[in-house]
Amino acid sequence: MTNARPPKSRGALARREARLAWGLLLPTITIVSLVIFLPLLAIFWISVKPVGLADLRPVAPIVRESLRNKGDDFRIEYRVRNSSQSKPLDNVGFTDTIPPFITLDQIPERCTLTGQALDCEFGNVEGGFSERIKIPISGVSDKKSAEPIVEGSEPIVRGSGDNVLTNNEFTADNFKRIFNSSEFLSVLWATIFYTVVGTIGALVVGLFAALLLNKRFRGQGILRGLYLFPYVSPIIAVAFTWVALFDPFSGSFNALLLQMGVTEQPINFFGQRPLALIMVTVFEIWRYFPLSFLFILARMQSIDSDMYEAADMDGASPFQKFWYLSLPQLLGILSVLFLLRFIWTFNKFDDIFLLTGGNAGTRTLTVNVYEQAFAISNIGAGAAVAVVIFAVLLTFSVLFLKYISREEGL
């Protein structure tokens, strides 16, 4: 019995410490969960709603009050309108407080005056509704003395309309529009080519660069810094540099090709199929291989050098040392880099948009999100494309991690 008590007390202490740890972590976990899941849920919600860009502003009545005069005749003018051109509003009206020194000479049919409170009722109105109410007044001698009429109080507006973001109307038209589009397969193909080739290319070039700089030599630090230039440079600067360099009329690269006799006429690298897609993929490889280079080089320098010394004694060639010693040690970091680079490249928007604007066969799914949501003002279709992107990346990540776990015996 005496031997059983200490483990029991330690178990109770461990449970209390675990509860305390979870209690301390709970605010952070809650905040992170809200930051991640709320936007994700919002995208899923909007993807099944018939939402346009104009629907992001809720339908509401708008009342503008102003003071008008024609000579010595003054009047208060209210402009009442529906903010939407298509959605109706229910029980529209407003209430305004009239200053005590003002007398309303005529009360419109839609309005009633109780004390100093002017109440106007318009009932249910259709989309695009707009009406002006003009009320003659007395008690003012000039426009300056009448300014408190407008500045003294703002009309209290009432009325409600159907909000497409919060109502119970759902539709699958957004997804039908995407999948039935004749361009969907070409967009999907461009996305897969750009992502797969760009990811593998960045890893291969990064691996090659790491092999070159894995040995110590004079100027190694300077060369490493130059390798990082594409990654640390501002994207807008390097993108426009590439566009200017490969411009068919004034680009240096085309001028060089013409001078060397390689081509008889300028080549529109970013303006013709399929060359434009190849060029943006090459740009992706060039810009992001330094990230792979850094991780791979760090992993290579942590490999025990005794293995290479033993391989040299056995007469192994440089290729054999790389294939049988280095590569197995690098598979872990290469797998992680492939997963991360695949996700990042699949979601890449700014590079393609700055280089080609999504033209000439370079429209990927992320560019399609922008065009659906903002170019043609269909927020629901843009959200539907974003859901497709999420589904593809989630499926790929699960299958990739499952395969990696099985290969590594986890």
- 171 pLDDT more than 70: yes
> Using DSSP, how many helices (H) and how many strands (E) does the chain show?
15, 8
CA neighbor of 51 nearest in space, from 126, 163, 179: 163
Let me know if 221 is exposed, middle or buried by CB neighbors in 10 A (0-12, 13-18, 19+). Answer: exposed
> What is the spatial distance between Cα 121 and Cα 111, in angstroms, rounded to a whole number?
6
Confidence of residue 1 (pLDDT cuts 50, 70, 90): very low
Contact, 362 vs 190, CB < 8 A? yes
Rounded (10°) CA dihedral 174, 178, 179, 180? 90
> What is the spatial distance between Cα 53 and Cα 378, in angstroms, rounded to a whole number?
6
- Complete edge-to-edge strand list for the sheet that includes strand 61-70: 61-70, 73-82, 130-138, 103-104
CATH of segment(s) 174-408: 1.10.3720.10
> Residue type for 85, please?
Q
Please provide the DSSP assignment of 261-309 as one string: TS-SS---TTTSTTHHHHHHHHHHHHHHHHHHHHHHHHHHTTS-HHHHH
Contact, 68 vs 140, CB < 8 A? no
> What is the spatial distance between Cα 410 and Cα 402, in angstroms, rounded to a whole number?
9
- Where is pLDDT greater, at 146 or 208? 208
Residues of the chain with CATH 1.10.3720.10: 174-408
- 390 pLDDT more than 60: yes
CATH of segment(s) 56-161: 2.60.40.290
Residue range 353-368: average pLDDT?
92
Q: How confident is the model at residue 138, as a pLDDT?
A: 82
> What is the spatial distance between Cα 288 and Cα 368, in angstroms, rounded to a whole number?
23
Residues of the chain with CATH 2.60.40.290: 56-161
Let me know if 30 is exposed, middle or buried by CB neighbors in 10 A (0-12, 13-18, 19+). Answer: exposed
User: pLDDT of 103-131, one tens digit each?
Assistant: 888 888 889 999 889 999 999 999 889 99
Q: Which of 9-13, 231-235, 346-350 has the lowest average pLDDT?
A: 9-13
pTM over 0.75: yes
Question: DSSP letter at 96?
Answer: E
Confidence of residue 59 (pLDDT cuts 50, 70, 90): confident
User: pLDDT of 222-260, one tens digit each?
Assistant: 888 888 889 989 999 999 999 999 998 888 998 998 988
